Amino acid sequence: MKRIMVCVILLLTAASSYADIEEFRYFSLNIPDGWTANESGDVVSVNADDRSGSLTITVGDPKGESIGGLAVKFSRELNGTSPVSDDEDGWSFECNNGISQAVIAGDEDFYMMIISTGFMNNAETLGEILSSLEMK
């Protein structure tokens, strides 16, 4: 679990105020004004109302597969680049023709993959959302 938070911290920027704390199955997030969040199964999607940015947070049981193996699997499914290890059991890759950045981390019991889109235009807001992530 600590590794997941290290992965999340890599994406963070300075935090400011938030609109609403929303509770999801595995975690809570502060969702700023102008953004909406939806949960479907093990996936939480957070989107800017003007479509300028988004986060997709997927959590689950790796079912015996290594985090590196999951990174390769998800990268292939998303037509992404070859995953790169961060030497802390976290992996990252680009997808959507380089528009989106994916980070996956976890252990033998739990993984979390975060895909951010529009990070260049929304770095502060996306960082604020991620810095508010609190696991249950």
DSSP characters over 44-72: EEEEETTSS-EEEEEEE--TT--HHHHHH
**What is the model's pLDDT at position 11?**
45
- Whether 15 has a pLDDT exceeding 70, the answer reads no
Q: pLDDT, tens digit, for every residue of 28-62?
A: 999 999 999 999 999 999 999 999 999 999 999 99
Out of 32-41, 76-85, 86-95, 105-114, pick the least confident: 86-95
- Whether 79 has a pLDDT exceeding 70, the answer reads yes
Domain extent at residue 126: 2-135
Considering the chain, what is the average pLDDT of its residues?
Answer: 87
| Residues contacting residue 10 through CB under 8 Å, at least 6 positions apart | 86, 90, 103
**What is the model's pLDDT at position 123?**
86
How far apart (Å, rounded) are the C-alpha atoms in residues 95 and 101? 6
> What end-to-end distance do the CA atoms of the chain give, in Å?
11
| Residues contacting residue 86 through CB under 8 Å, at least 6 positions apart | 7, 10, 92
How far apart (Å, rounded) are the C-alpha atoms in residues 75 and 41? 20
**What is the model's pLDDT at position 31?**
94
The answer to whether the CB of 62 falls within 8 A of the CB of 54 is: no
Write the CATH number for 34: 3.40.1000
Q: How many domains does the chain have?
A: 1
User: Phi and psi dihedrals of 67, rounded to 5?
Assistant: -65, -40
